[in-house]
């Protein structure tokens, strides 16, 4: 039903896209489940509490949470009254048992930072962000600050109560483009399920080595991907890896040595596009990890421009999904950033 609704509602926007029956998500998924379950706290309503709004009394009795965060827990059904979800405006009764299963520990060390965000779309349930090149998505070793999560915690403080601050998926630091962030736990679960059932559309633009006639011989690349046995930060094609399928939708020549590709992901493995294209001999321009070195025969100025290009030429160009509350099909696209546009111009000279 989801895929049917997506096709019908987005027919005009997706007229150039393939059938959605085999679509998936991103090039770096999060795990479907989070680690330990949050702790449970409970409180029994006394006579002096009678008639108090649920969000007010919960803020008073459950330490460490703001009223806005408590309201988020109520909306996400992390806070129950007598094992039943209620609204924030519910007036408590004598003997009501309030039960809260939630934590902010996921982001206790992540500081809100006023980092500008290019917000393409936002409502009460979802945010679509056009991530710039160089922005790390999630804090990690060596990247505790300056990440997308830090920015989300500043601009959307309510997201602190969500796993991963609402992130549904991620893209590499040096890849630009569109990604989805949830604003409620319900929306996050729904969008994660859409990723799982392949009803999210993700299309990328990239510059790859090779000419279209050679590249399109590999219109569908279907080989498993796993972590490199020796270089653990790299991924590689391996029989013991997870199934991975990439579709090359189109290839346009850029001079005589490179092509502009539109690529769709059917599965979501780390570095999938980069690994698959390198595997078939058409690595991304600028991808020093997977072999995007300058081709021989380039003019000296062009060769130097390729050498100087500081990242893989990869952009998450188009994104489509079903809104988790309204059921409406949403489709977004954003043009590639200026560094890729400039590089393409040089290759075409």
HSE-up (13 A, CA, CB side) for residue 207:
29
Poorest-pLDDT segment among 17-21, 81-85, 177-181, 342-346? 17-21
Q: Where are the beta strands (DSSP E) in 158-287?
A: 176-182, 201-209, 220-222, 225-227, 235-237, 245-254, 258-265
Percent helix / strand / coil, the chain, rounded to 5: 30, 25, 45
Q: Are residues 55 and 185 in the same domain?
A: no
Match 């108090």 to its residue by tokens: 52
Query: Does 12 participate in catalysis according to the annotation?
Result: no
Name which residue leads in pLDDT, 305 or 11: 305
Domain-embedded: residue 33: no
Planar angle of CA 150, 107, 30, nearest 5 degrees: 85
Contact by Cβ (8 Å): 225, 275: yes
Q: Are residues 224 and 315 in the same domain?
A: yes
CATH number of the domain enclosing 219:
3.30.2350.10
pLDDT, tens digit, for every residue of 265-296? 988 888 999 999 999 999 999 999 999 788 78
Q: Are residues 191 and 210 in the same domain?
A: no
Q: Which of 195, 230, 246 is the last residue of a domain?
A: 195
Domain-embedded: residue 94: yes
pLDDT, tens digit, for every residue of 184-237? 989 998 998 898 888 899 999 999 999 999 999 999 999 999 988 888 789 999
Q: Which of 195, 215, 241 is the last residue of a domain?
A: 195
Q: Are residues 88 and 53 in the same domain?
A: yes
Q: Using CA atoms, how far apart are residues 77 and 84, in angstroms rounded to an integer?
A: 9
Catalytic residue among 28, 172, 190, 287: 172
Q: Are residues 344 and 218 in the same domain?
A: yes
Whole domain around residue 45: which residue ranges? 41-100
With b meaning 16 or more CB within 10 Å and e meaning fewer, what string describes 196-220?
Answer: eebbbbbbbbbbbbbbbeebeebee
Q: Are residues 133 and 210 in the same domain?
A: no
Q: Where are the beta strands (DSSP E) in 36-116?
A: 40-44, 79-81, 84-85, 97-101
Highest mean pLDDT range out of 32-41, 104-113, 137-146? 137-146
Q: Are residues 225 and 330 in the same domain?
A: yes
Q: Are residues 219 and 294 in the same domain?
A: yes
User: What is the per-residue pLDDT for 268?
Assistant: 83
Q: Are residues 255 and 288 in the same domain?
A: yes
Q: Are residues 267 and 317 in the same domain?
A: yes
Q: Are residues 236 and 300 in the same domain?
A: yes
User: What is the per-residue pLDDT for 11?
Assistant: 41
Q: Is the pLDDT of residue 27 over 60?
A: no
């Amino acid at each position: 039903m989801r895929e049917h609704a997506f096709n019908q509602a987005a027919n005009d926007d997706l007229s150039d896209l393939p059938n959605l029956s085999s679509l998936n998500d991103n090039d770096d998924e999060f795990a479907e489940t989070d680690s330990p379950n949050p702790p449970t706290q409970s409180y029994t309503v006394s006579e002096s509490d009678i008639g108090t709004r649920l969000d007010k009394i919960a803020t008073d009795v459950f330490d460490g949470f703001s009223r806005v965060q408590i309201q988020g827990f109520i909306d996400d059904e992390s806070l129950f009254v007598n094992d039943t979800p209620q609204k924030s405006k519910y007036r408590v009764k004598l003997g009501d048992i309030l039960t809260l299963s939630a934590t902010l520990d996921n982001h206790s060390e992540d500081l809100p930072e006023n980092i500008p965000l290019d917000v393409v779309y936002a409502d009460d349930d979802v945010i679509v962000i056009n991530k710039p090149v160089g922005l790390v998505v999630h804090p990690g070793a060596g990247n505790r600050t300056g990440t997308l999560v830090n920015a989300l915690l500043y601009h959307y403080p309510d997201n602190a109560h969500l796993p991963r601050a609402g992130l549904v998926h991620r893209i590499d630091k040096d890849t630009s483009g569109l990604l989805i962030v949830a604003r409620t736990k319900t929306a996050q679960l729904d969008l994660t399920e859409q990723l799982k059932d392949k009803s999210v559309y993700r299309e990328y633009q990239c510059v790859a080595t090779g000419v279209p006639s050679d590249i399109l011989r590999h219109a569908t690349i279907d080989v498993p991907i796993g972590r490199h046995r020796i270089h653990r930060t790299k991924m590689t094609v391996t029989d013991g890896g997870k199934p991975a399928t990439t579709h090359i939708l189109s290839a346009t020549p850029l001079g005589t040595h490179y092509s502009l590709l539109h690529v769709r992901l059917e599965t979501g493995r780390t570095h999938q596009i980069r690994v698959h294209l390198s595997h078939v001999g058409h690595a991304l321009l600028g991808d020093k990890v997977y072999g995007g070195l300058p081709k021989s025969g380039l003019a000296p100025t062009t060769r130097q421009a390729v050498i100087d290009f500081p990242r893989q030429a990869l952009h998450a160009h188009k994104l489509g999904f079903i809104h988790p509350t309204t059921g409406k099909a949403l489709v977004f696209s954003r043009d590639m950033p200026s560094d890729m546009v400039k590089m393409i111009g040089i290759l075409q000279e």
